[in-house]
Amino acid sequence: MDKAVAGVSFNNKNLGGRKLILDTFIDGLPDIAFFHANSNNFSGEVPKLIANLRYFYELDLSNNKFACGFPSQVLGATNLTFLDLRFNNFYGPVPPRLFDMDIISAIFLNNNKFNQQIPANLGNTPARFLTFTRNEFTGPIPKSIGIGKTKKNLIEVLFSGNNLSGCLPMEAGLLENAILLDASKNYLTGPIPHSFGCLAKMELLNFADNRLYGAVP
């Protein structure tokens, strides 16, 4: 009887190498559903064959030493529901296609060197948890955050510790189920929109260390 490996976990194994070479390894695991490799010393590139895995739904590469652009190959993993790239040195822009993935529920990008603007189609994502903290993002928080799928789905979103500017979008006050919104330590300016008074389920709003002014709704 053929046996299939459902998933692989290398979490906290202190594994490492000059290059993470997994293409041939994954070739032999066509039915793999998840790959966890957090808290190691992996570097190099993310295997391109991830896009070909029909059951693949969860990728955790957090707390490693990856230093490259966003691993666009993950965008081909159409069943992906969980993406964790935290605590690496990924850099450059985040592709808009990430927020068009149909069933993803969590995207963790914090503590990297991603830059440029957060894509305008942010509101298209069905993700419930979004973390952009401690990168080098510039420009405004996208207005789509409160008018797309995020309006009903989003629970937690963190923008803190970037170089974001402009005003807080009125649309962010339309989030129906959000309990946490952190945009602290940026360069946001202007008043807090009156719509933020409608965030009925909100438990924590953090706008510290910005340039906001005016009355609090």
**Residue 27 burial (C-beta neighbours within 10 Å; 0-12, 13-18, 19+):** exposed
| The pLDDT value given to residue 1 | 37
Nearest CA to 43 out of 90, 7, 77, 11 is that of 90
Computed from CA positions of residues 207, 213, 215, 217, in that sequence, does the dihedral angle turn out positive or negative?
negative
Weakly modelled stretches of the chain, pLDDT under 70: 1-5, 10-28
| The pLDDT value given to residue 28 | 67
Contacts of 28 (CB under 8 A, 6+ apart): none
Q: For 190, what's the count of Cα atoms within 13 Å in the CB-facing half-sphere?
A: 12
Nearest CA to 86 out of 72, 107, 71 is that of 107
Output the six-digit token pair for 136: 């080098």
Cα–Cα distance, 1 to 61 (Å, whole number) = 32
As a three-state string, the secondary structure of the chain is CCCCCCEEECCCCCCECCCCCCHHHHHCCCCCCEEECCCCECCCCCCHHHHHCCCCCEEECCCCCCCCECCHHHHHCCCCCEEECCCCCCEECCCHHHHHCCCCCEEECCCCEEEEECCHHHHHCCCCEEECCCCEEEECCCHHHHCCCHHHHCCEEECCCCEEEEECCHHHHHCCCCCEEECCCCEEEECCCHHHHHCCCCCEEECCCCEECCCCC
| The pLDDT value given to residue 22 | 54
Contact 108, 85 (CB under 8 A): yes
Query: What is the pTM for the complete model shown?
Result: 0.92
Cα–Cα distance, 139 to 144 (Å, whole number) = 14
Beta-sheet pairing, 163-167 with 113-117: unpaired
